[in-house]
Amino acid sequence: MMMHDMMMQGGMHGGWFAAWPWLALWILLKLTIGALMITGLILAVRWLRRETSGRSPATPLEILKTRYARGELSREDFDAMKRELERS
């Protein structure tokens, strides 16, 4: 009879009945960690997209100044191209 009572109560240490709160807590912890990781990933992607799209494209005059600074254009070429850009 004693063995039958122990089986009905879940064994000597309580079995699943005693363990289910810890199992539920473990599952909740895993779900929370997963949700935090996914949220962090989404926020990182949004931040990176905002960083790259926040820059305005270089204007033609900025490109011209950069080329002149690199020495790709002479002063005469730079002035001529700058006047051409200002006319447009």
pLDDT at residue 29 is higher than 90: yes
Q: Mean per-residue pLDDT for 23-30?
A: 95
Distance CA(42)–CA(38), nearest Å, equals 6
How far is the CA of 46 from the CAs of 21, 50, 51, 55, in angstroms? 37, 6, 9, 15
pLDDT computed for residue 21 by the predictor: 85
Distance CA(5)–CA(12), nearest Å, equals 10
pLDDT computed for residue 68 by the predictor: 94
pLDDT computed for residue 78 by the predictor: 94
pLDDT at residue 11 is higher than 80: no
Percent of the chain with pLDDT over 90: 53
